[in-house]
Structure 1
Amino acid sequence: MITFENVSKQFTGSEGTFTAVKDVSFEVQKGDIYGVIGFSGAGKSTLIRTVNLLEEPSSGKVYVNGRDMMTLSADELRKERKKIGMVFQHFNLCESKTVFENVAIPLRLSKTSKKDIQPRVKELLQFVGLGDKSDHYPDQLSGGQKQRVGIARALATSPEILLCDEATSALDPDTTQSILDLLKRVNREFNITILIITHEMQVIRDICDYVTVMENGEMIESGSVFDLFSRPKAKTTRNFVNAVMQDQLPASVINMIHKEGKSNRLYRILFEGDEAGQPVLSQVSKQYHLDFNILHGQITELQDQPFGNLIVEFIGEENNIQQAVEHIGNRLTVSEVNINERD
């Protein structure tokens, strides 16, 4: 659906050449909700704007539906852009136009007949939950309502792809969740592929199927959301995951462990899918005559399935502990925790 092939983008100014994106390659399949995450300056906004050539790559290729976007004529590019909707961080609404008129803008630009505009806009406003706001102006709306207008406008021409540029970063947490739920409906009901960029790992967790992590213009890690949350490799990815999962031991607990000399019996156990509901710790403690102490952890949901992340202290004979860890490792992901190695 969307393929980035060794994409780089440089900008030249009075202070020289700056590389915003460097040699990025990944693919977004049709029907995916794909996230790109990074801190400010990571290059993610520049990258997403190469999809519809709002930014033309300095090198590399961008393919949409198998077509090299950089080889298209001006007329062909206009036609392709109609298939790509865009949702912006700060809504980009025309303050002097009503909600209806804002949503109708792309339809009028594409020369849709007046008789077809009315029912299409009405349908979209009902879909985004603003059927009663048609005659309102943007300054009469909340931030979440403005973003719903932006989503309705992006859907007006029935696109195949929706690009979301920090679409929730200007919203409070509750409103963010409602917008993410709406985007999931867009993906599910219209089968629209969504590429979303964000600096919020919670957004990635709650909505995305796959994710690419960027830093200083480069792709540092990529894969399914489940894999990146359960087995992050890069330090930046681990920091993003920790911000959501809070899977590091608090300092007070570490101090207590040091005082009691228990640091060689700590293990991280990842519970995935159906296993999250199984009494694994209780079973092994009985079988191997151990006590256990859950020091930290939580259960959340990734891609509609449970995911648990626990840090556990085992208490008992060393040989029994090792057998219990091996037993758990046959069913779950388990690793020793070294509290002296902190990121």
Structure 2
Amino acid sequence: MTASRTPTTEPASPAPPKPDRVRYRPGSLEIFGVVLLLAILLRGPLASLLGQPALQSWATVFIAICVQATPFLVLGVVVSGAIAAFVPASWFSKVLPDRPVLAVPVATACGAALPGCECGSVPISNRLMDRGVRPSASLAFMLSAPAINPIVLVATAVAFTGYPSMVWARLISGLLTALIVGWIWERIGRPEWMRPKNPAKSEPGQPNWRVFLSTILGDFTQAAGFLVIGAAAAATFKTIVPAHVMEGIGASLLLSVLLMAGLAFILALCSEADAFVAASFSTIPMVGKLVFLTVGPAVDVKLFAMQAGIFGRKFAVRFAPLTFGVAIVVATTVGLIFWGWQ
């Protein structure tokens, strides 16, 4: 008698995973097209709406800031793209001394060699650390580059035509802020506060012109967006806030310093365009405007997010308050030396 063999059933092979649906996300070009189409369709109501005196004043301030700042923004991203494409990051590590007391001021002075905004200085500082540069020197370079480079100083001179001393005051404030923060970080900074470095992924053989164009496009798209937001915020602030309130704030040195420091942190303007926004606050004293121009390139909401993403949250929550406090104290002191209590 033969035992009956029970047929075995092979397990069914799992079904191939369904490919994830690619969600369509409109880009800036599509959004711009939709806005332009709506403006054309609603040109009648918009024309009557823009006829209001308040909106005319808002549009005048907004357009003036954007038109004045755009040429310097374009020039800045072009030069920044050229440096990213044709100047190796190792050049900076070769010129920096090994001693911290000397490396920090040399790195601060090297900031004049990077005519770009603060958005590009953060990843460059990270690359410098990857090449063996001390964190304190790399951070000093990160703070000085967007504050004292020639394009920023020329833009400041154009924005403050009647006050050429603002250029020197901004230069000194930016240098001192970077120096002091760098030296303090050399004393209190801890390696465990920094996120462990990952090996940098590069694309060998990528043409320099492609790096040049991609850097220009990325920097301009990011910086121009913040410029538009900042110009709109400044125009709205000047239109909505009554003149007597601004005059009251401008009459108090403490209030004007606190207000401009807070606006610099929140607006997150590009350093190549912030001078035109600062100059538009006609009732704020020069000391308050200098605080705005010193705090903005050193610490703001977008820089805090970028530093937390690149260096880690432990670093950002310690470095941002330190930079914010030093920038306010330095700018206020320098401003009082230049202009007194006016």
TM-score bracket, normalised by the shorter chain, equals under 0.3
- Structure showing greater radius of gyration is 2
- Normalised to the residue count of structure 1, the TM-score between the two structures is 0.22
Higher strand share: 1
Structure with the larger RCO, 1 or 2 (CA within 8 Å, 6+ apart) = 2
- Normalised to the residue count of structure 2, the TM-score between the two structures is 0.22
